Amino acid sequence: MTERPDRETLPYRDCVGIALFNKLGQVFIGRRKFEGDPDQSAAHGAPWQMPQGGIDKGEDPLKAALRELFEETNVRTVSLLAEAPEWIYYDLPDEALGVAFKGKYRGQRQRWFAFALTGNESEIDVLSPGGGKFDPEFDGWRWERLSKTPSLIVPFKRDAYEKVAEAFAHIPQRFSPA
């Protein structure tokens, strides 16, 4: 049996998260693919999440958010609405420690951004993002109320999603139903 690394000695992985809002004030959520995804090993039937991904060395977090949004959803036509006021952290569950993120991290330190989709919804393509240049991370997607996202995420990310929902709670009120 392989011994798990000591959680306290592992760093957090710097990452961005994206809340993409439509014209009705709902956010994009994608259904994660499970094949070969150790980050989802503790999913327990909650495969939904907003786009997120690592910040490359020396990369500006806002640029990373725009890059990750494109790599995961194919979306480029957005406008910045807000940035969460602080880093939001989550820890991996014990069973994923030493497995997820190639065993290098205890969890993630995320910088969250809220964007409005200013283009057409047809721009979204989670099955062939970047025209097929990027491996798909989602096998489906839908729009959802931001306040509902913490109940749809894997349990170990729930507290982080509650902080995201709180940070961006004012945004859905900006939109008026068409």
CB atoms within 10 A of CB 84: 18
Mean pLDDT within 80-104? 85
**pTM exceeds cut of 0.75:** yes
How do residues 64-73 score in pLDDT, each as one tens digit?
Answer: 999 999 999 9
- Sign of the CA dihedral 87, 77, 126, 25? positive
Residue 43 above 60 pLDDT? Answer: no
Residue 93 above 90 pLDDT? Answer: no
Domains belonging to the chain, first-starting first, are 14-173 (3.90.79.10)
CA-to-CA distance for 141 and 115, rounded, in angstroms? 17
Q: What is the DSSP letter of 130?
A: G
Q: Are strands 12-21 and 107-117 parallel, antiparallel or unpaired?
A: parallel
Q: Which of 153, 76, 148 is nearest to 115 (CA)?
A: 76
CB atoms within 10 A of CB 121: 11
- Sign of the CA dihedral 120, 121, 122, 123? positive
How do residues 103-154 score in pLDDT, each as one tens digit?
Answer: 788 899 999 999 999 999 999 999 999 989 999 999 999 999 999 999 999 8
**Taking all residues of the chain, what is their mean pLDDT, rounded to a whole number?**
88
